[in-house]
Amino acid sequence: MSEKKSKGQELLEQLAYKKRNYYEIADEAERNEIFRYAEGYKAFLDAAKTEREVCDFAVNEAKKNGFTEYRFGDPLKAGDKKYFVNRGKSVVVFRVGTKNIEEDGMRIIASHIDAPRIDIKQNPLYEDSGMAFFKTHYYGGIKKYQWTAIPLALHGVIMLKNGEKVSVRVGEDPKDPVFYINDLLPHLGGEQMSGAASKLIEGEQLNVVVGGLPYDDKEVSDKIKLGVLSVLHETYGVSEEDLLSAELSAVPAYGARDIGFDRALIGAYGHDDRVCAYPALTAVVGNNTEHTVLAMLVDKEEIGSEGTTGIQCKIYEDLMEEISLALGANFRKVRAASKCLSSDVTAAYDPNFANVYEKMNAALLSCGTAMCKFTGARGKSGSNDANAEFIGEVRRMFAENDVVWQTAELGKVDIGGGGTVAKFVAQLNIDTVDLGVPVISMHAPWELVSKADVYSNYKAFLAFMK
Ligand code: MN
Ligand code: MN
């Protein structure tokens, strides 16, 4: 079958860059690995739908692998395996390497574990016209109409007056009830459908149906509300006032599933950014390295990395400084020698919406984890814009370890934009570049990724740690 290649063909192969589909490159053994790894990822997605649950999952995985809790001031030595929990909502899992940390720095993989969702308001419960509802306030950048008419689960905590914390997780077990946001029937939706999609459902219409059974007592009004309160009291021992100090979120009740006859793809809630958090966690927990490596799983990226659990909080810098101190190292030197992969998803090119992408520089599904030199909007505003020198270094790491990867830009210039945690890590004088899995339908209640890209992301982290 081997025909002799023409001179031009040979030159083309030698000189031209071509993005390639990872599934095409992978041999059978590697394809099996891609599919095997996806099973663990799907189980993780179903177990952990909120930042608190991801945090718990990560701590459990770390403990199973011999990691122990770290607190500020604890001594550290080479070979130590530690996890550091911030308020139950973010966690840093780390290994202390044998290399001199002042010269070698830290290898940081930073991803976020919060996802867009529908948060319940502090005084949420009311009834109207045969239904009881929770008032909500959405979290993160969502298309509000996508969250109507789908099964929702409720996750979170309720803090009681006595300081006790009650956990809530309803709608995940097939026997559980689920919750619901109403949409308008098309028969009466003429006016709704003729307006802007951003106004199809308004924020104050995102009310979650939580009940419909009137409490059996002629003497009281708001019987359905009372019925719901009585169930909440029986189940959780809470009263309406306790909801004032609750943190409850409605998330899609769907589980993660394979998509396609060939099962190449995965549909799930919250790929953004658990599709980077899971590889970061499994890479650091399951693999030894000479470097000091940190998997930072942080909260609040979807609302600007704010608050005590977002990456802008000083606690993460404090942790790095504490690690440096415990190892007798100069923190400034450690930072200067450190490197970071800011690991967040990017938009996968979607042929159904081709006009918003620039295909040459968009991430293509199944072509591997995607590196974004810069994010931001307009003239790269708000972007980290990594140095070519650092990208070159990371590129070498990937080449030496057969990582299939690609470069990416979120969309066409001036169409929109986005940003993530990279710029906040870079502020610490740490070389940082964005790297993550391409996603279709990002921020929808159910997003799509390729199993090949998930595994490529994991392999990229292993190469970065090596
Ligand atoms: Mn993200
Ligand atoms: Mn996002």
**Among residues 316, 292, 255, which one has the least CA distance to residue 72?**
316
Specify the pLDDT at position 3.
75
Distance, in Å, from the CA atom of 340 to the CA atom of 111, rounded to the nearest integer, reads 11
How much is the pLDDT for 12? 94
Q: Is this prediction's pTM over 0.95?
A: yes
**CA of residue 302 to ligand 1 center, whole Å:** 7
Q: How far is the CA of 9 from the centre of ligand 2 (A)?
A: 42
Helix (H) or strand (E) holding 453: helix 451-465
Point out the domain boundary residue: 252, 287, 313: 252
Tell me how far the alpha carbon of residue 113 lies from the centroid of ligand 2, in angstroms: 10
Point out the least confidently predicted range of 256-270, 393-407, 417-431: 417-431
Quick one: 131 and 231 in the same domain?
A: yes
Give pLDDT, residue 1: 55
Q: How far apart are CA 216 and CA 227, in angstroms?
A: 8
Instruction: Report if residue 261 sits inside a domain.
Output: no
Assess contact for 96 and 131: CB atoms under 8 A.
Answer: no
**What string of DSSP letters covers 319-355?**
HHHHHHHHTT--HHHHHHH-EEEE---EEBP-GGGGG
**Contact between residue 326 and residue 106 where contact means Cβ atoms under 8 Å apart:** no
Q: How many other CB atoms are there within 10 angstroms of residue 365's CB atom?
A: 21
Does an H or E element contain 155, and which? strand 152-159
Q: What pLDDT score was predicted for residue 4?
A: 86
Cα-to-centroid distance, 129 and ligand 2 (Å) = 36
**Is position 264 within any domain?**
no
Q: What is the mean pLDDT of residues 115-136?
A: 98
379 Cα: distance to centroid of ligand 2 (angstroms): 21
Ligand 1 is an ion; residues with CB less than 5 A from it: 272-273, 344
Same domain, 321 and 432: yes
Ligand 2 centre distance from Cα of residue 137 (Å)? 17
State the average pLDDT over residues 77-91: 98
In this structure, are 48 and 184 located in the same domain? no
- Gap from CA of 454 to ligand 1 centroid (Å): 15
Helices (H) and strands (E) in the chain, counts: 13, 23
C-alpha span between 415 and 419 (Å, rounded) = 14
20 Cα to the center of ligand 2, angstroms: 26
Going from the Cα of 47 to the center of ligand 1, the distance in angstroms, rounded, reads 19
5 within a domain of the structure (yes/no) = no
Q: What would the pLDDT profile of 164-217 be if each residue is shown by its tens digit?
A: 999 999 999 999 999 999 999 999 999 999 999 999 999 999 999 999 999 999
Task: Give a yes or no: residue 294 inside a domain.
Answer: yes
One domain, residues 230 and 316 = no
User: Domain for residue 383, yes or no?
Assistant: yes
| Tens-place pLDDT, residues 142-170 | 999 999 999 999 999 999 999 999 999 99
Judgement on whether residues 105 and 154 belong to the same structural domain of the protein:
no
**Hunting for tokens 């339908």 — which residue is that?**
441
Asked whether residue 141 falls in the same domain as residue 280, the answer is no
Instruction: Give yes or no: residues 243 and 371 share one domain.
Output: no
Q: Which residues surround ligand 2, an ion (CB under 5 A)?
A: 272
Q: CA–CA separation, 458 vs 189, rounded Å? A: 46
Last residue of a domain, one of 220, 252, 284: 252
Q: What is the pLDDT of residues 319-339, one digit of tens each?
A: 999 999 999 999 999 999 999
CA of 125 from ligand 1 middle (Å) equals 31
Domain membership of residue 260 (yes or no) is no
Please give the tally of structural domains in the chain.
2
Tokens of 397: 């790491």
**Whether the Cβ atoms of residue 449 and residue 439 lie closer than 8 Å to each other:** yes
Same domain, 380 and 281: yes
Tell me the ligand closest to 275's alpha carbon: 1
Ligand 2 center–CA 115 separation, angstroms: 7
Instruction: Give me ligand 2 centre to Cα 273, in Å.
Output: 7
Judgement on whether residues 32 and 84 belong to the same structural domain of the protein: yes
Q: Give exposure, 71-102, as e/b (b: 16+ Cβ within 10 Å).
A: eeeeebeeebbbbbbbebbbbbbbbbbebebb
CA of 122 to the centre of ligand 2 (A): 24
Neighbours of 195 (CB within 10 A): 9
**Measuring CA to CA, how many Å separate 108 from each of 46, 395, 445?**
26, 16, 29
Look at residue 259 and give its three-state secondary structure. Answer: strand
Q: What is the CATH number of the domain that holds 198?
A: 2.30.250.10
Cα 233 to ligand 2 centre (Å): 35
Mean predicted confidence (pLDDT) in 61-71: 98
Ligand 2 centroid distance, CA of 422 (Å): 13
Q: What is the CATH number of the domain that holds 24?
A: 3.40.630.10
Whether residues 281 and 381 share a domain: the answer is: yes
> What burial letters (b/e) apply to 44-60, b meaning 16+ CB within 10 Å?
bbeebbbbbbbbbbbbe
**Within a domain: 398:** yes
Q: 312: domain range?
A: 17-115+269-465
Same domain, 221 and 335: no
Residue 435 · residue 428 · CB < 8 Å: no
User: CA-to-CA distance for 343 and 1, rounded, in angstroms?
Assistant: 43
Does 410 map to a domain? yes
Q: How far apart are CA 106 and CA 294, in angstroms?
A: 7
Interstrand relation of 257-259 and 117-128 (parallel, antiparallel or unpaired): unpaired
From residue 327, how far is each of 75, 237, 292, 465 by CA, in Å? Answer: 8, 47, 11, 19
Nearest ligand atom owner, CA of 141: 2
What single-letter DSSP state applies at residue 240? Answer: G
Kindly give the distance from the C-alpha atom of residue 441 to the centroid of ligand 1, in angstroms, as a whole number. Answer: 13
Q: Which long-range contacts (CB under 8 A, 24 or more apart) does 39-45 make?
A: 40/278, 40/282, 41/256, 41/266, 41/275, 41/278, 41/454, 42/255, 42/256, 42/257, 42/266, 42/268, 44/274, 44/278, 45/255, 45/256, 45/268, 45/269, 45/270, 45/271, 45/274, 45/278
pLDDT per residue as tens digits for the range 16-59: 999 999 999 999 999 999 999 999 999 999 999 999 999 999 99
**From ligand 2's centre to the CA of 90, what distance in Å?**
16
Q: Tell me, yes or no, whether 188 and 130 share the same domain.
A: yes
Distance 419 CA to ligand 1 centre (A): 8
Mean predicted confidence (pLDDT) in 406-415? 93
